Amino acid sequence: MYLVIVGAGDIGTPLIDIATRSGNEVVVIENDPERADRVAGEYDCLVLNDDATAHGALRDAGIERADALISTTDRDAINIMVCLLAKEHDVPSIVSVVHDPEHMNVFRQIGVNTMENPQELIAEYLYRSVDRPAIVDYMRIGEEAEVFEIRVTEGAPIAGKTLIEAADEDLLPDDVLIVAIEREGQDPPITPRGRTRIEADDLLTVYSAFGAAPELTTVFGHTED
């Protein structure tokens, strides 16, 4: 994939790392000379020390060839301008971070995929790791629903039971689904069915319409939550 990344700050730099390690052809546009030099020295990508809101910079970046553009600067106004220019060049996939929720509708109107307020998402993730240590990873869906990973402890109420048995014993409400099971020695992950038995030390991917509430994490053996 030919990928243009605008900005090499706190968000852009990890993205550049992931994109280059994944074997993509990456071009970075960064207007700060020190950041541009640092990225050029650390990553296998073309780095342009330029203003991405200028057509010339995008052309130098090969925007006509780009499969995707991701704008990661810390200013929504710049991100909007960059995305509008990318639209003019018919870039198939355009993504941007959005720092102010009030600007979200502007990005939607111009047809840009967005990641809202990444700093707030990071803060929430860090708080969750302290407040709910049993949750390995999670993603919020809407206002309450979540998909999360949780490991089954020895002696957990669900350990040793099939999904049918767990449902019959009201351990799993109707609006909770176990969508994948990672088990040592088994690859790929197990796609659970009704007769699939949950074992201690399984890492479960769980969908819950009401989130990772304490009454649910207790089922997997995490009473401290």
Work out the widest C-alpha separation in the chain, in whole angstroms: 65
Q: What is the tally of structural domains in the chain?
A: 2
Identify whether 124 is part of a domain. Answer: no
Can you tell me the distance from the alpha carbon of 4 to that of 29, in angstroms, rounded to the nearest whole number? 8
Task: Tell me: do 153 and 107 sit in the same domain.
Answer: no
CATH code for the domain in which residue 166 is found? 3.30.70.1450
CATH code for the domain in which residue 68 is found? 3.40.50.720
Identify whether 126 is part of a domain. Answer: no
Last residue of a domain, one of 116, 145, 171: 116
DSSP type of residue 177: E
Cis peptide before 188 (omega within 30 of 0): yes
Report whether 193 contacts 210 (CB < 8 A). no
181: three-class secondary structure by DSSP: strand
Task: Tell me: do 152 and 186 sit in the same domain.
Answer: yes
Report whether 147 contacts 207 (CB < 8 A). yes
Q: Which domain holds residue 180?
A: 132-220
Task: Tell me: do 6 and 76 sit in the same domain.
Answer: yes
Identify whether 127 is part of a domain. Answer: no
**Structure-token pair, residue 220:** 């997997």
CA 29 to the chain's CA centroid: 23
For residue 6, give the amino acid letter: V
Task: Tell me: do 17 and 112 sit in the same domain.
Answer: yes
Kindly state the helix (H) or strand (E) to which residue 18 belongs, with its residue range.
helix 12-21
Task: Tell me: do 78 and 111 sit in the same domain.
Answer: yes
Task: Tell me: do 67 and 141 sit in the same domain.
Answer: no
Can you tell me the distance from the alpha carbon of 140 to that of 18, in angstroms, rounded to the nearest whole number? 23
Task: Tell me: do 77 and 146 sit in the same domain.
Answer: no
pLDDT in the model for residue 140: 77
Identify whether 96 is part of a domain. Answer: yes
pLDDT in the model for residue 225: 44
Q: What is the mean pLDDT of each run of 10 residues along the chain (225 residues)?
A: 96 93 96 96 97 96 96 94 95 92 88 76 68 76 85 95 94 93 91 95 94 91 73
Task: Tell me: do 7 and 109 sit in the same domain.
Answer: yes
DSSP 114-157: EEE-HHHHHHHHHHHHHH-TTEEEEEEETTTEEEEEEEPPTT-T
Can you tell me the distance from the alpha carbon of 86 to that of 61, in angstroms, rounded to the nearest whole number? 11
Task: Tell me: do 9 and 108 sit in the same domain.
Answer: yes
Contact residues for 85 (Cβ-Cβ < 8 A; gap 6+): 52, 53, 55, 58, 63
Identify whether 149 is part of a domain. Answer: yes
